[in-house]
Chains A and B, each alone.
Chain A
Amino acid sequence: MAYSDKVIDHYNNPRNMGSLDKKDKKVGTGVVGAPECGDVMKLQLKISGGVIEDARFKTFGCGSAIASSSLATEWVKGKTLDEAFQIKNTEIVNELNLPPVKIHCSVLAEDAIKAAISDYKKKNETE
């Protein structure tokens, strides 16, 4: 499989790889995918005043999955929760030139953002 230069760049130089403290109330964590399917993404967002001030990812999966999640962390930083919620997987597909068989990687990244946001909201509504 030939990868686009952007996928290779994210694979070689992943942005924001790592973890945030999942117990921190400001941190929303989304884990999506399944090991049996060959990809699992963990995306964490640190939110302050409704704005995403930091993001981290860890991904088990192919190069396109790693690149999709790495790109997602770049894109969400500085966005409000509503803005981040609007990110569409098709934008990730276009940015990374993903072939049809890798579209599910971008879907997973979109799902991870949404899962992290909803985790954050759940944590903070039960005050």
Chain B
Amino acid sequence: MLKFPIFMDYHSTTPVDPRVLETMLPYFSEKFGNAASKNHAFGWDAEEAVAKAREQIAHLISCNPKEIVFTSGATESDNLALKGVAGMYREKGNHIITAVTEHKAILDTAKRLEKEGFEITYLPVDSEGLINLETLKAAITDQTLLISIMLANNEIGVIQPIAEIGRIAKERRVLFHCDATQGVGKIPVNVDEMGIDLMSFSAHKIYGPKGVGGLYVRRKKPRVRLLAMMDGGGHERGMRSGTLNVPGIVGLGEACAIAEREMAEEEQRLMKMRNELQNHIMNELDEVYINGHPEKRLAQNLNISFAYVEGESLMMGLKEIALSSGSACTTATLEPSYVLRALGVGSDLAHSSLRFGLGRFTTDAEIDYVGKRVVEAVTRLREMSPLYEMAKEGIDLKSVQWTEH
């Protein structure tokens, strides 16, 4: 039995897993203590719960529990990593390297630092969304403090060569921050093997609650120090003051523990479903293009451009399915997806893209239904599309004199 609307936008957020919710509930009411209260049982209970969560997270990413700094989410973690390093090591250099397809939490933070006098290099990506390691090496100068590259992209799911980047960073004695928001809990992460010094992650992308996340901060080889953005009681090794969100942290911990146990099986299951959806669409429609690397991408992700059909009108025709589009009309800026543009996808095809995000509660019946409805909606809109008609008449759309507006 299908339940509507169908949620296929798991990159944006995820529902809290009922098992996660259950572990959180006591910490709202009977175990409501402040984890910083050292003198009574309420505080001890809370502290113990936080310590357990730290261990669950540390186990998932192979670090020491003391290296986890809790934050309000990945945006805060990204801000803290970049601004914290920039502020702490200002005397050593003024250069940071990142990439054009990073999340806005990185790009906007980098822009802020640029205004404050830092130099930022935005690495390009190839047509499949990957950065070039030689270009990265060439960009490092004696002023470079930090490299910040994401694990998996939120739009196209492309997975960057993190371990290789980590090796380059080590060789050149530059710190390496990884925004792993879309990757942690979905693919294996080992901060030592990957040479990661700082890493952002978020609970609500992995079936935990919204409003909580963390930043991994390496304590040894090298010991990374950060200039705090929040002043207060010196919580979290002085890097992030503020009373800990105990129920949220408990949820994040449990979400990580579940992810660790079920990740491998879940990845296989979702990859099979994703491939089925992809094949269904590709077999029944011509001129559809997959955005991003065909293999080096998350099993949960499918980003497709449907030529001659505009993304927003396509979503309008699929209103019982929660999806996301790279179409400009779905954003406040009226610009099509900067990620797709960075891959060299033309504006026309960027406007025509849909992002499918599969997740833990996606069913085979949903995959079937969504595939069928997408084919239907695209076919109907192509009948309505003057571009499709022109293309079928053999007109080269690139040669047409369009009236820009």
| Distance between Cα atoms of A11 and B316 in the complex (Å) | 9
| Distance between Cα atoms of A58 and B309 in the complex (Å) | 12
Asked if A47 lies at the interface with its beta carbon under 8 angstroms from chain B, I say no
Indicate whether A33 sits within 8 Å of B402 (C-beta atoms), given known contacts A38-B328, A60-B309: yes
Contact of A38 among B308, B351, B386, B403 (CB under 8 A): B351
Contact of A35 among B312, B330, B334, B402 (CB under 8 A): B402
Q: Is B404 touching A34 in the complex (CB atoms < 8 A)?
A: yes
Q: Is A35 touching B348 in the complex (CB atoms < 8 A)?
A: yes
Indicate whether A32 sits within 8 Å of B316 (C-beta atoms), given known contacts A39-B310, A101-B334: no
Q: Is B313 touching A11 in the complex (CB atoms < 8 A)?
A: yes
Q: Is the interface of A mostly helix, strand, loop or mixed?
A: mixed
Report chain A residues within 8 Å CB of B334: 101
Residues 1-21 of chain A, each 1 if its beta carbon lies under 8 Å from chain B, else 0: 101000010010010010100
In this complex, what residue of A is CB-closest to B404? A34
Q: Is B313 touching A58 in the complex (CB atoms < 8 A)?
A: no
Asked if B346 lies at the interface with its beta carbon under 8 angstroms from chain A, I say yes
Q: Is A60 touching B387 in the complex (CB atoms < 8 A)?
A: yes
Q: Is A63 touching B312 in the complex (CB atoms < 8 A)?
A: yes
Q: Is B313 touching A66 in the complex (CB atoms < 8 A)?
A: yes
Report chain B residues within 8 Å CB of A31: 386
Residues 59-96 (chain A) with a chain B CB within 8 angstroms? 59-63, 65-66
Residues 257-278 of chain B, each 1 if its beta carbon lies under 8 Å from chain A, else 0: 0000000000000000000000
Report chain A residues within 8 Å CB of B387: 35, 40, 60
Residues 83-121 of chain A, each 1 if its beta carbon lies under 8 Å from chain B, else 0: 000000000000000000100100110010000000000
Q: Is B384 touching A17 in the complex (CB atoms < 8 A)?
A: yes
Asked if B108 lies at the interface with its beta carbon under 8 angstroms from chain A, I say no
| Least distance between B288 CB and chain A CB atoms (Å) | 16
Residues 308-320 of chain B, each 1 if its beta carbon lies under 8 Å from chain A, else 0: 1110110011000
Indicate whether A38 sits within 8 Å of B329 (C-beta atoms), given known contacts A59-B386, A62-B312, A63-B316: yes
Report chain A residues within 8 Å CB of B247: none
Asked if A42 lies at the interface with its beta carbon under 8 angstroms from chain B, I say yes
Contact of B310 among A3, A34, A38, A58 (CB under 8 A): A38
Given contacts A38-B336, A40-B402, 7 further A-B contacts (CB under 8 A): A35-B402, A36-B348, A41-B386, A42-B389, A60-B309, A60-B388, A63-B316
Query: What residues make up the interface of A, taking CB atoms closer than 8 Å to B?
Result: 1, 3, 8, 11, 14, 17, 19, 31-42, 58-63, 65-66, 101, 104, 107-108, 111
7 smallest beta-carbon distances between A and B, as pairs = A34-B402, A35-B348, A42-B386, A36-B347, A58-B386, A62-B312, A38-B351
